[in-house]
Structure 1
Amino acid sequence: METLGNRLRMFRNEKHMTLDDVAKAIGVSRQTIQRYETGVIPNIPPDKISKLASLFNTTTDYLITGENTVTSDPEFHMLQRTYEKMSSKDKKNLMIILRASFNKYFDDNIDDNEQHKE
């Protein structure tokens, strides 16, 4: 079974990075990266998942689930990483701006309040 740890190890090896390289890039110890990869630390903090996804040029969804459910468009990934870094207030403000500017692209069947509960 493919796990988050396996995917992290796969990306690290594909990029020819050491545990130390990855640790320095996301601001943790070498041992922490090793524990992420072996599953000793199964619940990786969201900010670290986001940094790992950015480092490996993938999505947080793919790291967590192993499923490629979104586009490989680099601009989409940049937008997603930016959104993940925003506060709840900033996310809400962004949605107001997007709806005002691009309402024709939104699915009105989705309740925005449900999407932004945190």
Structure 2
Amino acid sequence: MSDTGERIKQRRKEMGLTADVLAEKLGVSRSTIFRYEKGDIDKIPAESLSIIAAALNTTPAYLMGWKDDGQQFFHGISVFPTVEKTNPIPKGSYEDLVITEMEKMNSKGKIRLLDTAREMTCNPLYNDNYELEVRAAHTRTDIEVTKDMIKHDDNIMDDENF
């Protein structure tokens, strides 16, 4: 059994997952999971390893044995959250509904959902607390800018109603 296979099996059991459940999350057969765990598939592609790690709430580095300090993060999020919840999510709230739908997703879906949520937080349409960053405009370099064009732009900038 390979070290990576042992770590996959150990993490799967820590999470209380059967090989069938993990296989379903990954979109592979149960025998593929057993082949990973036994080391029959010795060279797991990096993309597959990332998906396995996400399904097991750990990192590829942990599964490969490169990091073994218990501080696991995946996509910047601690994958071993504390058991204590100081602020439980109210049943039926938007947050509860999102979590309910997320729990139905495989690892790829969860990663996509997280990426989408992060994109939405940078959009004032979805985030009332988002502050727009104003960037300075610069003179165009793709065309010849005439004096009339500069005067026109200055007039617009000086217009109090603009």
| Higher RCO (Cα < 8 Å, 6 or more apart) | 1
- Work out the CA distance in 2 between the residues paired with 1:20 and 1:47: 21
- Work out the CA distance in 2 between the residues paired with 1:6 and 1:14: 12
Give the Å deviation of 1:25.
Answer: 0.5
Taking structure 1 as reference, are residues 19 and 69 closer, same or farther at Cα in structure 2, changes over 3 Å only? same
1:18 equivalent in structure 2: 18
- What are the Cα deviations for residues 18-65 of structure 1, in whole angstroms up to 9, with x where unaligned? 111111101111000000000011111222211111111111111112
* TM-score, length-scaled by structure 2: 0.42
- Work out the CA distance in 2 between the residues paired with 1:50 and 1:14: 18
- Work out the CA distance in 2 between the residues paired with 1:70 and 1:17: 20
1:29 equivalent in structure 2: 29
1:1-118 matches, cutoff 5 A: 3-68=3-68, 72-73=72-73, 76-77=76-77
8 Å CA contact 1:58, 1:77 repeated in 2: no
Q: How much identity, in percent, do the aligned residues show?
A: 35
**Corresponding letter in the other structure for 2:37:** E
* TM-score, length-scaled by structure 1: 0.57
RMSD of aligned C-alpha atoms? 2.9
Give the Å deviation of 1:68.
Answer: 3.4
Residue ranges of structure 2 left out of the alignment (5+ in a row)? 79-107, 112-162
Aligned partner of residue 76 in structure 2, secondary structure: helix
Residue ranges of structure 1 left out of the alignment (5+ in a row)? 83-118
Of structures 1 and 2, the larger Rg is shown by: 2
Q: Could you list the structure 1 runs, at least 4 aligned residues long, displaced by more than 6 angstroms after superposition.
A: none
Aligned residues: 80
